[in-house]
Amino acid sequence: MKKVGIFVHSRWAAARRLADEVTSFLLNHVDTIWAATDWDDAATAKDIPGTDLLICLGGDGTMLRAARSVIPHPIPVLGVNMGRLGFLAELRPNELMERLPEVLDGRCRVEERTMLQVQVPSWGVTYHALNDIVVGRESVGRPMYVDVWVDGLRLAIYHCDAVIVASATGSTAYSLSAGGPILHPESRDMVLTPVAPHLATVRPLVLPPQTAIDLMASSDKEAIVSVDGQMDRPLGNGERVSVCRSPYVARFVRLSGPSQYYEMLAERLDWLRVLRASGHPELFDLNGISTPK
């Protein structure tokens, strides 16, 4: 590797201190090092071309911004979780300096994550998202109507608070809290999840990768389109929102095996909490196989 970037959460002192430590280490290993905060779009755009690795120091929100910032360049991102849950990051801060030489030597794998793209004719620009695209109301209140088409055919008119189109990565984000299913992170499928639908018969749908989804909101209040929960744009009444799989993918550096995703998922969602509270540690050992503690 010749050029490495460091993407730092702008408001966390611990992330800035770790960035200084990483920079000192990299001085003897790569030719070029650059650093930017997660909100410094101009600096990031200038430095991204030619970068071989982007080290991301922050939480999941920082990882989302990093994944979008490298488009269209196929740059792998190494996430270091400085936040709370950390679904997207690979390492904890105390692991980074020990494991970084493995990454620089190529002793790792790169996991590709499907992204979404969204277009609204009046915008004249295409946005890309790693987690989700949400059509909803700008303010809380009464539900809105969202007309949904799948591959050009009308699917439903949802009476709900919002409609989420999520990637596999986003299936553990807002969609999960709205009752959507969890997809394997390397799945190319999408999840269509209504939020607080008026009818109990309405259920989330898993749609194949090539699906084209169109949404049209009808509301007496202004609607918005939210990209990864980080960028909101107003949506006119009756404007059509087109969502499909993006031609770009996010690339995450992994030092763990693919099956370890489930171990991480159980830990992050605390699925073993009931067993821990039972006071019977032997329940964690099934046929001699130790499960995460």
What is the reported pLDDT for 292?
A: 46
Domain coordinates in residue numbering, the chain: 3-113+250-290, 116-247
Residues of the chain with pLDDT under 50: 288-289, 291-293
Catalytic: 60? Answer: yes
CATH of domain 116-247: 2.60.200.30
CATH of domain 3-113+250-290: 3.40.50.10330
Q: Which of 38, 47, 60, 161 is catalytic?
A: 60
pLDDT in tens, 119-145: 999 999 999 999 999 999 877 667 899
What is the reported pLDDT for 282?
A: 61
In angstroms, how far is the first alpha carbon of the chain from the final one? 36
How far apart are the C-alpha atoms of 210 and 98, rounded to whole Å?
41
What is the reported pLDDT for 278?
A: 62
What is the reported pLDDT for 280?
A: 64
pTM of the model: 0.90
What is the reported pLDDT for 283?
A: 60
